[in-house]
Amino acid sequence: MKHVKNIVIIGAGNVGTRLACALNDAGCNIVQIAGRRSIAVETLAKTLDTDFTLSLAKIIKGQDLYILALPDNAMEEVLGELDLTDELLVHTSGSVPMEILIPFSENVGVFYPLQTFTRNREIDLKVVPFLVEANRIDTEDSLVGLGKMLSANVNVADSEKRLQMHVAAVFASNFSNHMYDIAREIMQDNGFDFDLLVPLITETAAKAVEMGPDNSQTGPALRKDMEIIAKHLELLKNKPAARELYDRISKNIIDQTH
């Protein structure tokens, strides 16, 4: 198993930035930041006091690890411009199979942090689960070792399992945030401060985490209170998208619990 020391980060978005900083803090040597968005790339390179390039052709060869931290739909194009042979190449995506990297290096893997990343927001990676995969067992060991430098929670998962977990993550994070956002809109339409919902949001998440969401459900749909549900649907008549979701999610909860 090879110890990973010298790393090139390709992509200076939310994930690339957090990983580069955390790996640097953990004692790795971030050799270069590569990417196209000049401000993000230069800012990150300056933060880490390292080299950068806006041209993929100028990526330094022969390093221990190349981390592609790109949106899924940008990966293919960037891969086509890389010129690696047997350098270890990984991506950080939940839903892209490892196999797409194989044409571009003999030594590939995935290094996926199961978390939501937002610009200008610190994340404590130590508690973030990392899902790791590799096409060679020694590479898998290297990536697990690297993961353990950042997090107490490193798991090996193949592309199929990782994709399933990504779908779960979309519900747990992206979709729960959309529910908050509909709530925010209703509050705003009525001249209320969103902050009134903060204790509720915090308690709902804490309760689900501590007791499991299957033991935490409350509300009109759980009680099958069709009168209140009808009243709420009536109130949402001018917001058809929210109304449709209210109706469907309520039916789901009723079907599951009655």
Of 21-29, 77-85, 134-142, 167-175, the segment contacting a second copy by CB under 8 A is 167-175
Q: What is the Cα–Cα distance from 31 to 87, expressed in whole angstroms?
A: 14
Of 3-11, 46-54, 77-85, 108-116, the segment contacting a second copy by CB under 8 A is 108-116
Please report whether residue 144 would count as binding a second copy according to CB under 8 A.
no
- Could you tell me if 70 and 95 are in contact, meaning their C-beta atoms sit under 8 angstroms apart? no
Nearest to 84 by CA among 109, 67, 59: 59
Of 18-26, 30-38, 81-89, 196-204, the segment contacting a second copy by CB under 8 A is 196-204
Question: Out of 83, 106, 138, 252, which residue is the one contacting a second copy (CB under 8 A)?
Answer: 252
Question: Out of 141, 145, 148, 223, which residue is the one contacting a second copy (CB under 8 A)?
Answer: 223
Residue 87: strand, helix, or coil: coil
Please report whether residue 47 would count as binding a second copy according to CB under 8 A.
no
Residue 70: strand, helix, or coil: coil
Query: Nearer to a second copy by C-beta: 55 or 215?
Result: 215
Please report whether residue 123 would count as binding a second copy according to CB under 8 A.
yes
Question: Out of 57, 121, 137, 258, which residue is the one contacting a second copy (CB under 8 A)?
Answer: 121
Q: What is the Cα–Cα distance from 190 to 83, expressed in whole angstroms?
A: 56
Instruction: DSSP letter for 102, please.
Output: G
Please report whether residue 187 would count as binding a second copy according to CB under 8 A.
yes
Count H helices, E strands: the chain? 9, 8
